Structure 1
Amino acid sequence: MRDRGLIYVADDELEIRELLKRFLEEAGHKVSVFENGELLLEAFERQPADLVILDVMMPGKNGYEICHILRQNSLVPIVFLTAKDNDADFIMGYTSGCDDYFTKPFSPIKLMMRVGAILKRQKLESEQYSRESILKFEDLEMDVLGKKCTILGSNVKLTKTEWDLLLYLLERKEQAVSREELLNSIWGYSVEVETRVTDDTVKRLRKKISQSKSIKIDTVWGFGFRLSKI
């Protein structure tokens, strides 16, 4: 099967590494696995991956630290896969710059769907915006090819998922978008219990665009969200 993307996985459990490698390769991806984050960083410096999956508790630098280092120079999608499942861990994960957070034990099928959705959206973006394309709405500007978001001329640092969600809303500005549509289009699955992930991402986005004087993300109660003028 044709390679769909290059994926790096760092986890200190051999069984998890082998499981992920098998599932991801069966889905058509090229996969490299590492027993710690430092080895992954070394490989990433030589050849950046299209997506990274990180355990949190590993020998040497933990997953949060590896994520933070990657985020210094890359918007590569980062997914945490960890046994740490309390609210403080979720907050730490997203603060360090991850795009999604799966807890062990996990559903390999749901993880594969998430990976597939991320990479599919990356491919669609590159095909849709084959030349320089800048989208604007009031004081928000998104340079799609340059992966740069600004408000009032100031850079807004976004994770890959935050970028995808904001771009999706911007492409449909002033239109209400359902949580189910966002889950299908951005996350690649639609399960009622997972609507929390959209709400959490929107909450973070609102903070990051709060300096805007002219736009906001409205909650359409019982339905979803809308990017609109203040």
Structure 2
Amino acid sequence: MKGKIYVADDEKNIRDLIKSFLAEEGHEVVLFEDGESLLEAFYKSEPDIVILDVMMPGMDGFTLCTKIRKKSDVPILLLTARDTDADYITGFTAGCDDYFTKPFSPVKLTMRVNAILKRSFKENNSSQDRELFYGDITINNDLKTFMVNEKQVKLTNTEFELMNYLLVNKERAVSREELLSSIWGYDTVVETRVTDDMIKRIRKKLRENNSIVSIDTVWGFGFKLESRD
């Protein structure tokens, strides 16, 4: 599955590096030197994936991510030279789907892009159940909606993928490595933080909507859905 990818980074060497790896996989890559020019292009034509540098002159990556997320659920990957918890939380709160710290692995970034596009293709062409139910939760794979107590709850694209995967496998515990491999497209132990942080955000949304469903931690292994009904 090949896709159209927008990349914004004020460092030319980074832009060229990303393009070389993604173009080699057959993807169409459009480069931008700043956030404003990417946003202008985005309003005219949406890509399949957006990759943003956080620290850019003018509109920074966090702001750009927030603006894009108001209009679209397109997957957004953030790149940053800063690896603080505050920046990490800000990025995911803005609606990003993954967060790569510079210097990052272009191979891992390419794997993530390929995983996103592959999963999107599978969802659009699979014969899996179009609706999934558990406790007071309903997922509609045709409409891409997540409902709690018949009320729609906004999830990012990757949050939706993760919850969909947990519902499909609701009878068993799912390891962090399995989630990384199935949802993010890689399975190194170093990156398990991304799963834990996303689980925390989904748990918060479940609590805020008084769901009887919880995502329980299976210590030393992963996660499992539980219902209090």
- TM bucket (normalised to shorter chain) is over 0.9
- Shift in Å at residue 122 of structure 1? 1.0
Name the structure 2 match of 1:183: 180
Name the structure 1 match of 2:113: 115
* Alignment partners' CA distance in 1, 2:16 and 2:144: 33
8 Å CA contact 1:174–1:228 kept in 2: the answer is no
- Shift in Å at residue 138 of structure 1? 2.0
- Shift in Å at residue 134 of structure 1? 2.2
Post-superposition CA distance 1:145-199 (Å, at most 9, x none): 2111111122211111111111100111131111111111011111112111111
RMSD across aligned positions (CA): 1.5
8 Å CA contact 2:146–2:153 kept in 1: the answer is yes
Which residue, 130, 135, 138 being the options, matches 1:133?
130
8 Å CA contact 2:148–2:211 kept in 1: the answer is no
Post-superposition CA distance 1:121-141 (Å, at most 9, x none): 1111111158x9222222111
Name the structure 1 match of 2:10: 12
Secondary structure of 1:209's partner? helix
Which residue, 201, 204, 208 being the options, matches 1:204?
201
* Alignment partners' CA distance in 1, 2:4 and 2:135: 37
Name the structure 2 match of 1:88: 86
Runs of 4+ in 1 over 3 A off after TM superposition: none
Secondary structure of 1:72's partner? helix
Structure 1: 5+ residue stretches without partners: none
- Shift in Å at residue 107 of structure 1? 0.8
* Alignment partners' CA distance in 1, 2:212 and 2:107: 41
Aligned sequence identity (%)? 56
Q: What amino acid sits opposite 1:122 in the alignment?
A: S
Superposition map of 1:141-180 within 5 A? 141-180=138-177
* Alignment partners' CA distance in 2, 1:134 and 1:190: 28
Matched residues, number:
227
Name the structure 2 match of 1:70: 68
Distance 1:64 1:129, change over 3 A: farther
Q: What amino acid sits opposite 2:163 in the alignment?
A: L
Name the structure 2 match of 1:221: 219
Secondary structure of 2:79's partner? strand
Secondary structure of 2:37's partner? helix
Secondary structure of 2:71's partner? coil
Name the structure 1 match of 2:51: 53
8 Å CA contact 1:78–1:98 kept in 2: the answer is yes
TM-score of the aligned structures, taking structure 2 as reference length: 0.94
